[in-house]
Structure 1
Amino acid sequence: MFLNELYTPLESRFTSGCAGIDMGATGSIYNEATALMEAFARPLWGLVPHASGGGESALWPMFLEGIINGTDPEHEEYWGEFSTKDQRMVEQAVLGLGLALAPHKIWEPLSDDQKMQVYNWLNQINHVDRSNPNNWLMFTVLVNVGFKKIGLPYDQAIMNDYLEKIDTYYLSDGWYSDGLTDQRDYYIAFAMHYYTLIYAKLMADDDPQRAAVYRERSAEFAKDFIYWFAEDGSAIPFGRSLTYRFAQVSFWSALVYAEVLPFSYGVLKGIIMRHFRWWFEKPIMGIDGLLSIGYAYPNLVMTENYNAPGSPYWAFKAMLILALPDDHPFWQAEEEPLPVLKDQLRLQEARMLVCRPEGNKHAIAYTSGQMANFDMAHSAAKYSKFAYSTLFGFSVPKAGYGLVQGAYDSTLALCECDEHYRVRRFCETWEIGESYAYSRWHPWNDVHVRTWIIPAGLWHVRIHSIHSTRHLDVAEGGFAIGQSAGFSRSDRETIHVSNTAVSVQLPWGISAIHMLSGFDRGECVQPEPNTNLLKPRTFLPSLCSRMEPGDHVLISAVFGATNTPENQESLASPPIIQQQSDGRIVIYDPRNHAVLHTVDLSERRDKDVDNGN
């Protein structure tokens, strides 16, 4: 099966004592010894469920030897001791899962002395300080669940304390926050829900009340989270840790494992299997057969400081379904397509408006108000762009000078006429309506920007009301669209640039931006390579302008869709705006002249002032 194919390249990369796997030379914030241990542990997220479901692997003797040596204080490859927050706590979680699901592989073959060494090393997690107010609390819970399942001493008090803390992160409608932060990214799916679903399954008899709550919350979350997926299996690239790739679908695997069915087995199987197929059609593995660091191709530019060479193997959390027996209904079910979903859905707790302008072909999230509570690489690009798309992804800067290096797609970039641009980062005020996303933000303390994003079918309208005491250059970026690869060329490839519009048509998609008010010229930027998550080279339709100090209103219409004759017709009909004398801006649908939304600039300004902003 394909799992064994993914594991084959690991065989020659174990360290001499098998307690580490050497996957590459790039670095992370933790030391090389910890990186080797991480690379050892993360493939177990697939092997443990596989073994639980009756699967076998030629790698188990090496993993068993590695566990023995890694937990032996006298061995040169001992994984070491820790007393505070440490990356090794993250990797202990899968060993706790292994004790619960596959003791016949990692526990029963050990001698009594070896068992005590494994227990002592894992039990360190019960003695660290409690400075991990986020999903890390569940690592301790999973280790203790593992202890409990094989009859070892465990700390029920810590489990209760941590699970009660997890409950304080619950918001509503199935959504958590990952601790005290404004980020609502994949950690809600592949951490908060994933771990609590495992707990719900393993502790259903021991803690039925919590198990029922976790099941109920996950079923509610699933009704929103399904909007992040397109019919081809792709998911909206958004937030941090995207190098974990098909971990995006691990939530759905955990639902099936925990027997939570907000949709039929066929729908769930379709989501999972299409996602796997989408990923394995991408060049995500290097010539050595190892999962690379990156997203849809190898790419260090977009990664986090905690992404070591073995980090991408956290994707194997999606393999939890392998714990299901061969006769489980999931395996017997026929794949079903995505159900009929709304064209537009407000996800209030996620601070986004998710739209599906081409049905299930394309999902776009329009966001306002998200940001992580710690500084990571490219945090503004990962959380604060105006739009995130399954079809176009998003881009991160390669450097800080100019539009080419900055790759400012789906955002408004501003500079003091010196090519050093700033973008939306933190939102001072934000609001997600049924038909718009709003934010107020400050690229400088004396520059105030109020932004409205209004979906309009294949288009969306952006309105920026700007008050500035500075001379500024501004650039409004549309969707970055991947350039052709190899020798492929097509008569369907066209680029059009004028003072009022820029469009790029390629066989797989159309990206365009149209000036409705306030801009000086159009420009097709060709960003630095390896800035976009989906394609290494892109075109970026943009509108540019130079502004004097004072008040300005910039309005644009942005188009993003697959390339079909019908969509080409829509490209010729951008939304219509009407600026009224009382300061209101009315946006009309060009198809039927229906009012999509009305923006009252003066009312919004007064409201922000009234709120103390």
Structure 2
Amino acid sequence: MFRRKFINNLSAMGLGAFLPANNLSAKELLEIPSGKKDRKYWATLLNKIVYPVYSNLAEGTLVQNMPIYSPSIYDGRNNVTYLEAVGRSTAGVAPWLALPDDESNEGKTRLILKNLFLEGISKGVDPNSPDVLNFEKERQPIIDAGHLAHGLLRAPEALWAPLSQETKRRLVNKFKVLRTRKIHNNNWLIFRALTECFLLEVGEDFKKEPIDHALKSFEEWYIGDGWFKDGVKFSFNYYNSFAMHPMLVDTLQILVKHGLAQQETYDLALKRMIRHCVSLERMISPEGTFPLIGRSITYRTGAFHALAMLSLMEKLPETISPTQVRCALTAVKKNLLVDEIFDQNGWLNLGFKGKQPNVADYYTSTGSLYMTTLSFVPLGLPETNEFWSGPYTDWTTKLAWSGKDFPKDFQVQF
């Protein structure tokens, strides 16, 4: 389906061939609307992050070329890190790739990434490929199959429909084989539920029990004011945003579509996610930094997945404008996603702002780091959307600490 010639030509031309050249004068740059500049920055950065993963998977060189950075003496990371990189990248980049093809520089970049994914995932489930992705060993693939399923659900026409029937069959079987694996009783439940919802959505047989178990557990774990416990005990970290709110809302959306859940249940989950994001937006400092709380801080800007997803859904509360989210997240990205987060070959380094392996958790490896792409999902909004077309806007803490008026906050219970 995807000609080898395309991949060879792409490899020869390199990533920069499709990124827009900056030949504008300083005056012309100042006249460009801030949202247009922000979008170019986001798109270029996301492409830089994802391109090594997708291009190597398409070439059959992911295992050969992707380094395994990990603080753990556990030697099983090579069994899981490659699917981590592919699944997490896909969840973050999918809304952008779902946009219609066009002849802009950005459109050409999207088309390249889309074709690389389609070529690559066919190799990733081919048992004869050197890059065949592991779904059969360890428990970690439960998580990253969930991310991959999330990406396919976010861009079905771009990333699922064009696949060959053989590739679809193989991928479905990979998802089903995960049912044999014991699962942790925490946020992991929603990953398995969303994978089963993907099977439901594409017309395959699915298991409802894991979905029901996840929904029942999440309702028990809700402690109020937009926060879930991550299992039986509360942990102050970003997993509510990394996965719990976004995946719960999308799981319920599919169930409502298929008549397996009530609209009121979905509406309640969305209200709770909105409330969580009010707090999340206020965690971004006037300087564009955020608190280093809890585990998995090496997932970097993935901490703002829920806020980014609400922006994509155009469901932000009245007290938060799309433009202030864009400006706040742009400030965070410019502070954090600096050159030092990449190694000499363009792979993400283990760390936070640079190479800092000591801040990584024992389960973290190179592939884990691609969770940072989840903050980029508003690129799925067209450039004419208010998120991108609106003027520069200060976010809540920037207003407050500069002595300007800002909306006060108060707890909300649902």
Q: Same fold (TM over 0.5)?
A: yes
Aligned-CA RMSD value: 2.9
243, 248, 258: which one aligns with 1:196 = 248
Tell me, yes or no, if structure 1 residue 5 matches structure 2 residue 48: yes
Cα distance 1:203–1:275, how it changes in 2: closer, same or farther (>3 A)?
farther
* 1:48 is aligned to 2:48: no
Distance in 2 separating the partners of 1:11 and 1:70: 11
Change (3 A) 1:340 1:19: closer
Q: Which is worse superposed, 232-241 or 256-265?
A: 256-265
Question: What is the aligned partner in structure 2 of residue 286 from structure 1?
Answer: 343
The structure with higher relative contact order (CA 8 Å, sep 6+) is 2
**Is the counterpart of residue 95 in structure 1 residue 148 in structure 2?**
yes
Match of 2:372 among 301, 308, 315: 315
Q: Does 271-280 or 171-180 show the bigger shift?
A: 271-280
- Summarize the Cα distance change of 1:20–1:48 in structure 2 as closer, same or farther, 3 Å threshold: farther
Q: Which structure features the higher share of strand residues?
A: 1
Structure 2 counterpart of 1:244, from 299, 302, 307: 299
Report the CA distance shift for 1:248/1:81 in structure 2 as closer, same or farther (over 3 A): closer
Q: Distance in 2 between matches of 1:46 and 1:247?
A: 9
* Of 134, 146, 166, the match for 2:198: 146
Check whether the contact 1:19–1:77 (CA below 8 A) recurs between aligned residues: yes
Partner of 2:167: 114
Range with greater deviation from structure 2 (45-54 or 168-177):
45-54
Matched residue type, 2:391: E
Paired AA for residue 241 in structure 1:
S
Aligned-residue offset at 1:87: 1.0
Query: Between Structure 1 and Structure 2, how many residues are aligned?
Result: 345
Change (3 A) 1:99 1:21: farther
Greater C-alpha radius of gyration: 1
Q: Which moved more, 1:106-115 or 1:301-310?
A: 106-115
Return the letter of the residue paired with 2:60.
Answer: G
The 3-state SS of whatever aligns with 2:112 is coil
AA at the equivalent of 1:101: R
Q: Is the 8 A contact 1:20 1:40 kept in 2?
A: no
1:173 paired to 2:225 = yes
Unmatched runs of 5 consecutive residues or more in structure 2: 1-42, 101-106, 405-414
Which amino acid letter does the alignment assign opposite residue 195 of structure 1?
A: M
- Structure 1 segment 1-400 matched on structure 2, within 5 A: 1-2=43-44, 3-10=46-53, 13-14=56-57, 17=60, 20=63, 22-27=65-70, 28=72, 29=74, 30-54=76-100, 56-82=110-136, 86-129=139-182, 131-199=183-251, 205-206=257-258, 207=261, 208-262=263-317, 263-281=320-338, 283-339=340-396
Provide the TM-score with structure 2 as the length reference.
0.74
TM-score, length of structure 1 as denominator length: 0.51
Matched residue, 1:569 = none
Which amino acid letter does the alignment assign opposite residue 171 of structure 2? Answer: V
Give the letter for the 1:86 counterpart: R
Q: Equivalent residue for 1:393?
A: none
Is the Cα contact below 8 Å between 2:135 and 2:141 reproduced in 1?
Answer: no
Checking the alignment, whether the CA contact within 8 Å between 2:85 and 2:366 is kept in structure 1 is yes
> Is 1:201–1:258's contact at 8 Å kept on the other side of the alignment?
no
Whether the 8 Å contact between 2:185 and 2:231 is mirrored in structure 1 is: yes
Matches within 5 A, 1:391-410: none
Say which SS state the counterpart of residue 43 (structure 1) adopts: helix
> CA–CA distance in 2 between the matches of 1:46 and 1:340?
26
Structure with the larger helix share: 2
Secondary structure in 2 matching 1:267: helix
* Residues in 2 aligned to 1:148 and 1:333: alpha-carbon distance in whole angstroms: 38
**Paired amino acid for 1:158:** P
Q: Deviations over 1:47-67 (max 9, x none)?
A: 312112335242434432332
Q: Which residue matches 1:476?
A: none
Deviations 1:473-524 (A, max 9, x none): xxxxxxxxxxxxxxxxxxxxxxxxxxxxxxxxxxxxxxxxxxxxxxxxxxxx
- Contact 1:18 / 1:62 at 8 angstroms: preserved in 2? no
What's the CA shift for 1:260?
Answer: 2.4
| Partner Cα separation in structure 1 for residue 123 and residue 397 of structure 2 | 52
Three-state SS of the structure 2 residue aligned to 1:310 is helix
Deviation at 1:114, TM superposition (A): 2.5
CA distance in 2, matches of 1:248, 1:359: 27
